[in-house]
Structure 1
């Protein structure tokens, strides 16, 4: 879909007004974020400035997410190669407390809009480093992924403005996230840290066995 390009100043105020509305629909929020990102990417000078500023701001994030968005901790996701609109949306969710993680909630609340946009553009431009695949497990995982996950996350797992890139994601993180969604669906007790809700993902993960999760993770972690 082609969106009307924004002029600087007035256009940004319009988008911020949209995002501040308490009654805004999810799809309208994503559309607003797309306009903000497009405004930066359509201007070569603005894009270059955003990349440099994002690289500098990412120093705060590198302890967990790595200098280039490839995570250095098993329970922390790669940010490299994610859709910039998706990243901007998730940073906003942490800032508003819609996603729960003490470190991320604290950081995101202190990021300016420019910080958030710059980080999203910087990480989206980085290259994810896929993991070696167990071909036998991956072949089985591909069948499950195609049946249950591809319609949202894409044929190659590259995601979109609304859905995460799963290709090349850390296997430990994928495994943990699917287990948490499954626990939500089954009403199992979780602590307050990193609790994340998604009716769609909970419904899908609730029907996955331990073996299903293992093979899907094996498939996704090795995708480029």
Structure 2
């Protein structure tokens, strides 16, 4: 199995370049994940840099672009990939080294949508109740693990990363706008009501295709637009 991996060390390299690695099929099992292969490749070259933590598709740290599609390497079976695998860092954000990108702007955009519940003052002696029907509306909006696969797949984010919040942040905004307990949903919508925010999305579905958790950020953004038209 051949791996063509983008390498870049800003201390010594002017631009990224590709390095080819090889693994014998006897070194990997039928249930191996791409991250398992990367661990073996790093034994060949300890300077190879990538992120990984939980290795279970929960932390979202090991996002990378694999054969043109953003994926989490820890839950990408090698059996689903061809014998020639091209791996690059996720696009749209600065490269720190090799497959590691600088996520600072991504987190700034996420923070910018106030991703926390803003409710009436709570009585700490009682539960903050929500009906099962209202709770069910949040399914598909709260499970995001902030891996960045969707946002770095989005051309609108590539073109205006400092202005367009991106699919992950807008998915979070949707989660709180539709939460029956939140009392600031109108203000949330007003903050997104600009040509460079929610309406910059063109719904080309890259974000939905890239999400490793099977979420649909594009649909959430479409729903936000519909709510905004009705309420603002």
TM-score by length of 2: 0.31
Which of structures 1 and 2 has the larger relative contact order (alpha carbons within 8 angstroms, sep 6+)? 1
Task: Identify, as 1 or 2, the structure richer in strand.
Answer: 2
Higher Rg of the two aligned structures = 2
